[in-house]
Amino acid sequence: MKNIIFISPNFPTNYWQFCRELKNNGLNVLGIGDQPYDELRAELKNSLTEYYKVGSLENYDEVYRAVAFLTFKYGRIDWLESNNEYWLEQDAKLRTDFNITSGFQVGDLHRIKYKSGMKEYYEKAGITVARYHLVEDIEGCRDFIARVGYPVVVKPDNGVGAAHTYKLKNDEELQHFMATRPEGVPYIMEEFVHAEVNSYDAIIDSHGEPIFETGNITPMSIMDIVNDNDNSIYYILKDLPEDTRAAGRAAVKSFGVKSRFIHFEFFRLTQDQEGLGKKGQIMALEVNMRPCGGFTPDMINFAHSTNVYKIWADMIAYDSTLTPVGGHQFCAFAGLRDGKNFKMSHEDIMAKYGSCMKMVDRMPDALAGAMGNRIYVATFPTREALDSFYSDVLACW
């Protein structure tokens, strides 16, 4: 029986389903988290052989001791995973320290976590990347801006999501950023790309081949959503475009991805842009070596009448899957921000779209910055129906 350690199985709140499917596939599932055992949901408790509570998942020594204890008790650990961007570096360090070879190691981090490191591997795949500059002093930034022009985007070279990411439109904003940026945090500056984000979401087997593929579109910039406290929308595509599929598969090969659930992000240009391409073309944004965040795995299930939690667990247990994929639809996410004066009340939304609705919930505070506070997830057979839904639920007085 394979032993798998799942880090933070209780958060995000839907991740207990990964553990359930691992158990259903006959694996020994060992959880490490910082939530008291009595507070875990019953479904998660029933999916775990054992749960080891640490005082803080941020404390590497504590987590190391937890892995050591579970190794002593159950034998060699075959897999260690969190499927969470925040813990990717710690996961890699634990795998390296315990010689768990079924995932990324410390030596892999530069290309999978640092935005500057990702550029090389996207280029090796033949995919265009935005020009960039590693921020050191204001003179170097001005030299870079003299080449690419304003606006530019600045973000932590090793960052999670759109946190601390800003668009600088003029020299005054550049000076303010340089004066207030956090000390000791390496930043990357990139030319601004006029585009929407198209993703390639896939579960990859041990040979680097996809056993499931889909994608989503984010019409609005996550950076703007966070910084402007705006609503959040994105949707799972009914069918994955062939250019996104080709770019995703090429990037998987270039980055050496094996045995993972991934979320690769691409720009699709919304206008011609000199040095980058023509309107409609695909170019690189960044790679995420984990599932798309929030409730996206559930949305993928709704869009494709499948179970990606099971497909991922099948990949670990069998390196393949027989889990069926059914009819395809669009699956829309709308994250509405508290404090806005929406034209449609919750009751209005449910009266018109209740038959399409798959989830209605409050987003956890830790995710609300990028995802909104009150969420609606609904499926639609056509793009026209999808667009009407967004037009209705986002309308404000």
**Lowest-pLDDT choice from 79-88, 131-140, 156-165, 202-211:** 156-165
Q: Distance between CA 390 and CA 344 in Å, rounded?
A: 11
Looking at residue 219, its pLDDT comes to 85
Looking at residue 228, its pLDDT comes to 59
pLDDT single digits (tens) 334-359: 999 988 999 999 999 999 999 999 99
Look at residue 227 and tell me whether its pLDDT is greater than 60.
no
Looking at residue 224, its pLDDT comes to 56
Looking at residue 384, its pLDDT comes to 97
Look at residue 363 and tell me whether its pLDDT is greater than 90.
no
Amino acid residing at 323: T
Average pLDDT, the chain: 94
The H or E element that residue 297 is part of is helix 296-304
User: What is the mean predicted confidence (pLDDT) over 31-49?
Assistant: 98
Residues 6+ apart with CB under 8 A from 101: 95
93 pLDDT band, cuts 50/70/90, is very high
User: What is the mean predicted confidence (pLDDT) over 268-272?
Assistant: 96
**Lowest-pLDDT choice from 91-95, 159-163, 232-236, 372-376:** 159-163
Looking at residue 4, its pLDDT comes to 98
pLDDT single digits (tens) 283-328: 999 999 999 988 999 999 999 999 999 999 999 999 999 999 999 9
Q: What angle do CA 294, 299, 302 make, to 5 degrees?
A: 155
Looking at residue 318, its pLDDT comes to 97
Q: What is the DSSP letter of 129?
A: -
Looking at residue 194, its pLDDT comes to 93
Per the rule left: phi > 0, alpha: psi between -120 and 50, beta: everything else, 304 is alpha
Distances (CA, A) of 205 to 259, 291, 393: 5, 15, 39
Look at residue 40 and tell me whether its pLDDT is greater than 70.
yes
Percent of the chain with pLDDT over 70: 96
Q: Three-state SS for 264?
A: strand
367 pLDDT band, cuts 50/70/90, is confident
Q: Distance between CA 198 and CA 266 in Å, rounded?
A: 5
Residue 227 contacts residue 217 (beta carbons within 8 Å):
no
In the block, tokens 């839907």 appear at 14
User: What is the mean predicted confidence (pLDDT) over 261-275?
Assistant: 96
Q: What angle do CA 264, 265, 267 make, to 5 degrees?
A: 150
The H or E element that residue 147 is part of is helix 138-148
* Radius of gyration of the CA atoms of the chain, in A: 21
Q: Distance between CA 196 and CA 220 in Å, rounded?
A: 7
The closest alpha carbon to 376, from 396, 341, 339, 347, belongs to 347
Look at residue 38 and tell me whether its pLDDT is greater than 70.
yes
Looking at residue 226, its pLDDT comes to 52
More confident residue, 33 or 372: 33
